Amino acid sequence: MGAVTSRKKLKGSGKAQRIAAAPLKTARWQGGLNRNELLCLGLVLAATFVAYFPVLKSQFTNYDDNNQILESHLVRNLSFENIKALFSTVIWNQYFPVAMLIMALEFKVFGASALALRTVSVLLHLGNTLLVFQFIRKLFNRFDYALIGSLA
């Protein structure tokens, strides 16, 4: 909206005097956050990024990346039939079709690039941090609750 309104007396029309007499308002972003709140949210996002940054330096691991990404025909060969199979198959005693679909899309776009897959993962975590913040802020109508909740 605007910067801080001055209370200085204005000569001229009554409209100018009403504007001058209006209460001071701090600038707000479209989402309803003022600058200090945006700064705090930015710090939360920065902390989230710092927490996940080491992931970007890693390659594929032999824990589950081989089985779930590199050797999985459902991920490597994205097709309508394989998408249906992703939503109806238990892989390694786990059922996580949305995560597998995201990995399949990443593999289709970026190939077997560990950096690209990890970068998308970090971006998804940052997006989820924003979603949790917004959800808690709307639920409780409290910025401080949302800030603490999005750090968790």
DSSP string over 45-78: HHHHHHHHHHHHT----TTTHIIIIIS-HHHHS-
Which segments of the chain have a pLDDT < 50?
Answer: 1-3, 26-29
pLDDT at 60: 80
Q: Report the 10 Å Cβ neighbour count for 125.
A: 15
pLDDT at 46: 94
pLDDT at 17: 60
pLDDT at 29: 47
pLDDT at 71: 78
- pTM given for the model: 0.68
53's CB contacts (< 8 A; 6+ apart) are 122
